[in-house]
Amino acid sequence: MTAPVPALEVRDIGRRFGGVVALDHVSFKVGEGEVMGLIGPNGAGKSTLFEIVSGNLRPSAGRVVYFGSDCTTMPAHLRRRAGLCRTFQKLRLFESMTVADNIRVAASQCLTAGRDPRDEVGAILAQLRLEAQAERHPSELTLADRKRVEIGRAIAGHCRLLMLDESLSGLTHDEAEHLINEILALNRLRGITVVIVEHVLSVLAAMVKRLVVLHDARVVADGTPAEIAHDPVVIEAYLGTKRSVLR
Q: Which residues bind other proteins (CB under 8 A)?
A: 54-56, 75-77, 80-81, 85-86, 88, 92-98, 100-101, 104-106, 108-110, 118, 131-132, 134-135, 137, 139-140, 153-154, 156-157
Minimum separation from the CB atom of position 81 to other proteins (A): 5
CB nearer to other proteins: pick between 77 and 243:
77
Looking at beta carbons only, is 196 or 205 nearer to other proteins? 196
- Residue 66 in contact with residue 79, Cβ under 8 Å? yes
Dump strand ranges (E) for the chain. 8-17, 20-30, 35-39, 61-66, 69-70, 84-86, 161-165, 193-198, 210-215, 218-223
Residue whose CB is less far from other proteins, 92 or 243: 92
Among residues 81, 89, 85, which one has the least CA distance to residue 147? 89
For other proteins, the closer of residues 124 and 213 by Cβ is 124
- Please tell me what DSSP assigns to residue 136: S
From 71, 85, 82, 87, select the one nearest 13 (Cα to Cα).
71
Q: Which of 21, 11, 53, 48 is nearest to 195 (CA)?
A: 53
Closest separation in Å from C-beta 119 to other proteins = 11
Measured in whole angstroms, the distance separating CA 49 from the mean position of its chain's CA atoms is 11
Q: Smallest gap, in angstroms, from Cβ of residue 112 to other proteins? A: 12
Q: How far is the CB of 5 from other proteins (least distance, A)?
A: 23
Residue 69 or 202 having the CB closest to other proteins? 69
Q: Please state the closest distance from residue 130 (CB atom) to other proteins, in A.
A: 11
